[in-house]
Structure 1
Amino acid sequence: MSRSEEAETWANAVYAAVQEIPHGKVTTYGHIALLLGEPQRPRQVGVSLKTLPNAESGSHFHSGNVPWHRVINAKGMISHRGPGSAERQAEALRQEGVQVTRDGMGELYVNFSLYGWFPKVLPSEEAEDAENDGELFVQGS
């Protein structure tokens, strides 16, 4: 089943935003939705990531160039999408140096105070704003 044009536009915006999350950092579905100007749509962010094409698909955005594993739920927990999916996501985060802990119920968590990424705007939008104002954007400023 193919997506509507609106759904495809939304998914591509999600994928582009997720590409801006730095290596070794995580953010939430809700924060991506907020950055895209649709704070009421965190579930749609999740759906977009769940349906991210695989790397062999030939799609512009795919699991090989969109760091889907850097998006977790608002509690700092890695959401389950299917058998073994939370563990795969945890392993991908660990490979980036993110510490993932397991609680007494077996749920996997990331500490936002250490690894959270919550900018007010996407870095690409800051750069565009600076260019429009005739100012140079310096990352980290």
Structure 2
Amino acid sequence: MFLLGVSDHIMIAHSFSDPFFGPATRMHGATYSVDVEIRATALGPHHVVMDIGALRAALRRALDTLDYRNLDEHPAFPGRTSTTERVAEHVAALLADDLAKLPAGEAPPPGATLRVLVRESPSAYAGFERAL
């Protein structure tokens, strides 16, 4: 299995409506470190999973939709549901849509998978994986 990964970060504000989250029901900020991996069983025509610069640019485009935003007001997280897992799922969906628009020779090989890992701190993270 081959893999290609890139990282970036975002700063957000949010709160949760569910009392399960205790003090996090109040507005608070977070700086998320976001790691993305594409895994493929074979390399593409250029002997890579895909161009690393193209993946970095796609990640930045996805993160720009969240960076410096109050996620309580973001349509992707109705009812104040912007858990780390949901953020990872949202970023994965944006990335998958973006990567699907690449020409065949530039896109990840058929059967590739995408993994998005969102770190809330050096010791806590959540993620989402999906097929491309």
If each structure's strand is expressed as a fraction of its own residues, which one has the higher value? 2
Fold shared per TM-score above 0.5: no
If each structure's helix is expressed as a fraction of its own residues, which one has the higher value? 1
TM class, shorter-length? under 0.3
Does 1 or 2 have the higher relative contact order (CA < 8 Å, sep 6+)? Answer: 2
